[in-house]
Amino acid sequence: MQDKSKIPFQHWSLKVGRADRQTGLVGDFFGEIVSAVDDLDQSVSNLILTPLGSVPTEPEKGCDLLPYLDKPPDIAIPNIGRAIWDALTIWEPRIVLQDVKVFEVGFGHLAAEIYWRPSESILDDLRVTSLPLELASNRRVA
C-alpha cells in the first residue's frame, strides 16, 4: 500500500478491481492507484456503471441505465447513449466528450464505447473507454 502523502500526482484514485467476466475472479488490487489518463478512464467507467441513487451523499450522481436494459435495442440504444452522454457531461468536467456509441454484442447484451479526451490535454489524443453494460444491472447498493 502506498503512503498517500507520497503520491506525486494531482489526479489519482484507488484502483477499482472488477471481476473477470469468464472466471468471476477479482485480481489483487489492494493499495494500487491509477493516475492521470488511467484515473480519468476509471472515472468514466465508474460513473457509467453507478446507478442513480446509489451514492448516498450525491443521489443524482451516476447513470440511469436500468430502465433500458430490458427494452428492445431500437429503444434501448439511443436512450442509453443519451443517459451516458448526460451523466458524463454533468459529472466528469475533466474530459471533453466526443462520441458515445452503444451497440448490441449479442442477444440481450449491449456494450458502449465512449470517445473522449482530457479537457486540458496538450496532446489531442482521443481515448476510448469500452464497457459491457450488463455489469450495470449486477451492481448492488451496500
- What does the pLDDT look like over 59-76, one tens digit per residue? 999 999 989 978 999 999
Q: Rounded to a whole number, what is the largest CA-CA distance in the chain?
A: 50
d(C-alpha 14, C-alpha 5), whole Å? 14
pLDDT at 76: 93
Question: And the C-alpha cell for 23?
Answer: 472466471
Q: What are the tens digits of pLDDT across the range 11-32?
A: 656 566 665 556 666 666 655 6
Model pTM score? 0.72
Question: What's the average model confidence in pLDDT over 117-137?
Answer: 72
Question: What's the average model confidence in pLDDT over 110-128?
Answer: 81
Q: Looking at 1-10, 76-85, 97-106, which range is the least confident one?
A: 1-10
Res 140 pLDDT > 60: no
Q: Which residue has the higher pLDDT, 89 or 124?
A: 89
* Mean pLDDT estimate for the chain: 79
Question: What's the average model confidence in pLDDT over 89-114?
Answer: 91
